[in-house]
Amino acid sequence: MTVKIQKIDNFRWRIPREGDMRTDGLIFASEAMMKDLRHDQALEQVRNVATLPGIVGPSLAMPDIHWGYGFPIGGVAAFDAKEGVVSPGGVGYDINCGVRLLRSELKAAQIRPMLEDLANSLFRNVPSGIGSHRRDFKLTLAEERRVLEQGAAWAVQQGFGNAADLDHIEEQGTIPGADPDLISERAMERGRAQLGTLGSGNHFLEIQQVEAIYDDDAARVLGLFPGQVTVSIHTGSRGLGYQVCDDFIRVMLRAARKYGITLPDRQLCCAPLSSPEAHDYLAAMAGAANFAFANRQMITFWVRETFEQVLQKSPADLRLNVIYDVCHNIAKWEEHLVDGKNRRLCVHRKGATRAFPPGHPKTPADYQQIGQPVLIPGDMGRYSYIMVGTAGAMAETFGSCCHGAGRVLSRHAAKKRARGHDVIAELAKQGILIRAAGRATVAEEISEAYKDVADVVDVVQQAGIGRKVARLKPMAVIKG
């Protein structure tokens, strides 16, 4: 199907409402990005989302848009509480895959002599790869249920971190309303040994340095300075979240038939937000999201422990504090101003992050003057960005922003492109150490597999839905 595209300005493109669409599509992209996107199924997915019942505002796509399951990755859509629907395809399989950023009191030059030891120790202490699990830590069923209900707060209660960490996590690390009884035995079994593990694919643990600062005031509030060592953690709900999504796709296919919802794509299977099926999915999804928050909290603890051991420094000397933790595969109840009235909406963010502005009640207290941090990882060979949310995002995207660079090559195509290259050795020459469970994962994650995240961030900045604060350069990367 050919999708009609109308240029609004240099960074916005409209898919005009026609046929069975209930609203327009709105894509944030540069001219060069749109040239490539015209050959991508993701545009049709934006159009398809616009046909779903109860959608409020346009079907949105961030500049890291690419083809995904159901919704495009980079897709955002809000649905009315009474007329709208919830769709697992608008959340994704890796529920609450997200990014956490830690800052330190260290400078890059201080750790460079010990960088190899740090990378090796992190690779040992934080399991990575397909099916990775900790040999020294496995939850009991009763403990796992508490993780699903309490999220990062459970980990803090067990001594894995401190209460101050929770202040800088989206929703303070706990999505309310989780019900472990709605999560299958298979999902519980898959998650039990995987808490505190990275997994595979594009997940990573990365030691970085602050390479550039664009907003001195915001950087000061976030505790950033040039040359500073930071650590990013990118992972989600592991096998538990995958299984929850898989289980509920079957439920939602039946629900769509039951409620007479016409689907342009079976992957958009959904249920009315007022239905028991929707209630059950959101309660199970909240449990998986809480598992992901706890997962990143546990990894944070082992990162801190590793730095202390290798560098022989105290926690007070290191001050590896959480800047922020943001989820980018989630559906959440939020209040938004629409046509001058506050409305309760279920906002789906699929490969997209929350980007709330200064003064918003959900923005952490100490960030009220600058806005919520937005963490935009790039690729392991270039850079990542820290941004903050804006009033423009609240007005135009339901307080949403991009979540990364966005793939331009499939994993198969990336591996084909990497043939004949020793990617690990090439990155080492750039001063970037790679530790990975297998070379195949490294090949899948080559820089050429992704858009240049600088281009993505530039669209966000120019469109006014986010503001640049700093750029981070990789020093050592732990991959699945």
Q: How far apart are CA 203 and CA 128, in angstroms?
A: 9
Nearest-CA neighbor of 385 among 204, 198, 232?
Answer: 232
Q: Residue 410: CB partners within 8 Å, gap ≥ 6?
A: none
Are 286 and 180 a contacting pair, CB within 8 Å?
A: no
Q: How far apart are CA 377 and CA 453, in angstroms?
A: 8
Beta-ladder partners of 243: none
Nearest-CA neighbor of 226 among 246, 208, 202, 249?
Answer: 208
Q: How far apart are CA 477 and CA 427, in angstroms?
A: 10
Output DSSP code: residue 160.
Answer: S
Are 442 and 428 a contacting pair, CB within 8 Å?
A: no
Q: How far apart are CA 70 and CA 162, in angstroms?
A: 38
| Residue 170 tokens, joined | 């989206």
Nearest-CA neighbor of 383 among 200, 222, 204, 210?
Answer: 210
Would residue 168 show up in a list of annotated catalytic residues for this protein? no
Q: How are beta strands 467-479 and 433-436 bridged, if at all?
A: parallel
Q: How far is CA 169 from CA 111, 181, 206, 297, 404, in A?
A: 27, 25, 19, 10, 18
Using the Cα atoms of residue 31, residue 36, residue 39 and residue 40 in order, give the sign of their dihedral.
negative
Q: Which amino acid is at 282?
A: L
Output DSSP code: residue 169.
Answer: B
Nearest-CA neighbor of 99 among 441, 373, 284, 433?
Answer: 373
Q: How far apart are CA 71 and CA 291, in angstroms?
A: 23
End-to-end CA distance of the chain: 37
Please identify which of the residues 203, 348, 360, 403 carries the catalytic annotation: 403
Q: How many CB atoms lie within 10 A of CB 393?
A: 27
Q: Residue 416: CB partners within 8 Å, gap ≥ 6?
A: none
Q: Residue 66: CB partners within 8 Å, gap ≥ 6?
A: 40, 42, 72, 73, 74, 406, 407, 408
Mind telling me the catalytic residues? Answer: 403
